[in-house]
Amino acid sequence: MADRILVTGGTGYIGSHTAVELIQKGFEVVIIDNLSNSYIDTLDGIEAITGVRPAFAQFDICDRARLQAFFEQYTDIRAVIHFAACKAVGESTQKPLMYYRNNLNSLMNLLDGMLQYHIPYIVFSSSCTVYGQPDVLPVTEQAPIKPATSPYGNTKQICEAILRDTVKANEGLAAIALRYFNPIGAHPSACIGELPIGVPNNLVPFITQTGIGLRPCLNVFGNDYNTPDGTNIRDYINVVDLAKAHVIAIERMLRHKSKANFEIFNLGTGRGVSVLEMIQSFERVSGRKLNYKITGRRPGDTEQVWADPTYANQELGWTAESSLDETMLSAWKWEQHYQQLHPERK
Ligand code: NAD
Ligand code: WQD
């Protein structure tokens, strides 16, 4: 019998790509998602790629009674990957309570359920945002955690602390927190990808939406930073590469290979790329000129951050394999596919 993995937030961007990789590795997947930031059609995309439609339960994990009923129904879950969260940095500064309530309560409810139903393993979606602007680059897992610059970032720091303390208090529980750098791109089939609702905040969907004519112009937020071309530098990681790391993390725990009950890994490429280099990559793979202009800095932006992924490379045997152009092309194909499906979108 295949091991059953619970994927919360599994119709979302990273969750759907991870569901695909899990299914392709022979795992049985069950998804919980309240569809607050994703669409049910994502299940069609997962099925188109894998030939398998994962089990799906639509509800809010903050609803303890509903979660309890779910665990009563699925009694053979071996591990949890917890993606479900609110994730927009800007929105979190406007609606901090919504972020604290959703991101903290969902994790605590899950952990309660896992303890009650003896589910021993959890992989948690953390973020490079916990490092702020690091003093030393590239950033290793040992870099100090800086005071959070947004309520969203603070929820990731608090969630890591909740995991650390809960695992410490419960011998039967183990956790891996994966600190993602900047996930981008889509499945190469273009059957699933990122679905920003409304005007995107993130760079790559804004680039591809500008490229396809949905937005008139990309604003580049500042070219007066202390970087080679003056624009910000990030570590953009292919979402399929990222998804594969989750499968490895799950296998690590199922096979008792973890070195500690709570482990943390940076997931990045180890390569810093500037905003202008991202635009150049888009222009190369799409054959189109991108309309952009330099505007003022975006408040709160970190100047430059990229990962030292050595620990994940060595311990997980995982590396980010895709090239930037390959990844950008996948994002562009997904944008074109989505535009065909939804020409009415704004
Ligand atoms: P996403 O919004 O596409 O996916 C999250 C999913 O969770 C959505 O489908 C949403 O409907 C669901 N959800 C949210 N709250 C829920 C709740 N209470 N109950 C049930 N479902 C709920 O986001 P994503 O980009 O796939 O991110 C996944 C995780 O990775 C999040 O925890 C996010 O904070 C983290 N992360 C994302 C990035 C990034 O840039 N995308 C970077 C670092 C970390
Ligand atoms: C990338 C670069 C912008 C849009 C965010 C979260 C972080 C993590 C990943 C979850 C920056 C520039 C962007 C635009 C631009 N998420 N940019 N014009 O800010 O690195 O990280 O997503 O954990 O917590 O903060 O990603 O894609 O928004 O920006 O010039 O229209 O692109 O200034 O330098 P960011 P991003």
Q: Is any atom of ligand 1 closer than 6 Å to the C-beta of 60?
A: yes
pLDDT digits (tens, 9 = 90+) for 104-139: 999 999 999 999 999 999 999 999 999 988 999 999
Q: State in Å: Cα 12 to ligand 1 middle.
A: 6
Mapped to the 3 state alphabet, what secondary structure does 271-334 carry? CCEEHHHHHHHHHHHHCCCCCEEEECCCCCCCCECCECCHHHHHHHCCCCCCCHHHHHHHHHHH
What is the distance between the alpha carbons of residues 329 and 327, in angstroms, rounded to a whole number? Answer: 5
Ligand nearest to the CA of 219: 2
Q: Which ligand is nearest to the CA of 6?
A: 1
| pLDDT computed for residue 262 by the predictor | 98
User: Is the CB–ligand 1 distance for residue 160 below 6 Å?
Assistant: no
Do the bridges between strand 182-184 and strand 236-238 make them parallel or antiparallel, or are there none, so unpaired?
A: parallel
Q: What pLDDT sits at residue 196?
A: 83
Instruction: Please check whether residue 78 is in contact with residue 121, taking contact to mean a CB–CB distance below 8 angstroms.
Output: yes
- Spatial CA neighbour of 304 closest among 177, 160, 157, 133: 133
C-alpha distances in Å from residue 43, one per residue of 12, 23, 40, 252:
10, 12, 6, 27
The residue type at 234: R
Residues with CB under 6 A from ligand 2: 87, 89, 127, 129, 182, 201-203, 206, 218-221, 232, 234, 275, 298, 301
Ligand lying closest to the C-alpha of residue 93? 2
Choice from 14, 203, 291 to test ligand 2 binding pocket (greatest atom count within 8 A of CB):
203
Q: How far is the CA of 300 from the centre of ligand 2 (A)?
A: 10
| Cα–Cα dist 49/295, whole Å | 40
Three-state DSSP class for residue 148: coil
Instruction: Quote the pLDDT of residue 345.
Output: 83
For the chain, residues with pLDDT lower than 50 are none
50/22 Cα distance (integer angstroms): 10
pLDDT of residue 238: 98
Ligand whose nearest atom lies closest to the CA of 89: 2
Amino acid at 110: L
Whole-model pTM: value is 0.98
Write down the pLDDT at residue 38.
95
Residue with CA nearest ligand 1 atom 16: 84
Question: Which residues, other chains included, contact 250 with Cβ-Cβ below 8 Å and sequence gap of 6+?
Answer: 5, 22, 27, 79, 81, 121, 123
Query: Residue 268 gets which letter from DSSP?
Result: S
| β-strand partners of 252 | none
CA–centroid distance, residue 8 to ligand 1 (Å): 9
The candidate with the shortest Cα–Cα distance to 31, out of 51, 68, 59, 65, is: 59
Identify the residue whose C-alpha is closest to ligand 1 atom 21.
33
- Taking the CA atoms of residue 52, residue 197, residue 233 and residue 226 in that order, the dihedral angle to the nearest 10 degrees is -170
pLDDT tens-place string over residues 223-252: 999 999 999 999 999 999 999 999 999 999
Instruction: Identify the DSSP state of 100.
Output: H
Q: Is 180 in the pocket of ligand 1 (CB under 6 A)?
A: yes
Active site residues: 152
146: exposed, middle or buried (C-beta count within 10 Å: 0-12, 13-18, 19+)? middle
Alpha-carbon distances, residue 112 vs 43, 73, 265 (angstroms): 28, 16, 24
**What pLDDT score was predicted for residue 334?**
98
Residue nearest to atom 33 of ligand 1 (CA): 87
Å from CA of 54 to ligand 2 middle: 31
Distances (CA, A) of 286 to 1, 156, 195, 327, 336: 44, 35, 20, 12, 11
Give the pLDDT confidence score for residue 195 in this predicted structure.
87
274 beta partners: 233
Closest atom of ligand 2 relative to the 126 alpha carbon: 23
Q: Is 150 in the pocket of ligand 1 (CB under 6 A)?
A: no
Measure 65 CA to ligand 1 centroid, in angstroms.
22
